[in-house]
Amino acid sequence: MALDSLPAPVAACSEDDVKKTIPDEVKEDVLHTVERFNLKESTKTGSCYIARFQGKFLYLDRDDCGNVGPVCRLEYNGAGKPWGFAIYKCSDDRYDPNESWFPGSELADGTIEGALKAGMEAYG
């Protein structure tokens, strides 16, 4: 799946939600975390994550030899607070924050690395 054909990051947002964005320094930290994870895991799996930001959301997509697909969406809840997690459900073509029955769900611990690990288990 090409990046331009990924599901649109759509969420029901209030005006206050639209104003919330992930601070640039947090985005930079996220990108470093994803890069470190990719360096460590790509030799084992041949896959890597791609991070996309929109408003208060971080979308993690996975690139498997040129086939890019959505894995999960994280919601920024503020400095020092756990990230909200929503796994992408292929069956419904949407991100589901209430889905907790998938391989790796126990790894989604409110951290970026936890989400990356959970996604690898879910879509490994």
The string of pLDDT tens digits covering residues 54-98 is 999 999 999 998 899 999 999 999 999 999 999 999 999 999 999
111 class by beta-carbon count within 10 Å (0-12 exposed, 13-18 middle, 19+ buried): middle
- What is the phi-psi region of residue 50: left when phi exceeds 0, alpha when psi lies from -120 to 50, beta otherwise? beta
Can you give the pTM of this predicted structure? 0.83
Q: How confident is the model at residue 42 (pLDDT cuts 50, 70, 90)?
A: confident
Give me the residue label for tokens 């611990």.
109
| pLDDT at 1 (0 to 100) | 52
> Both tokens of residue 55?
């408003």
Residue 11 has pLDDT above 70, yes or no: no
Which carries the bigger pLDDT value, residue 8 or residue 76? 76
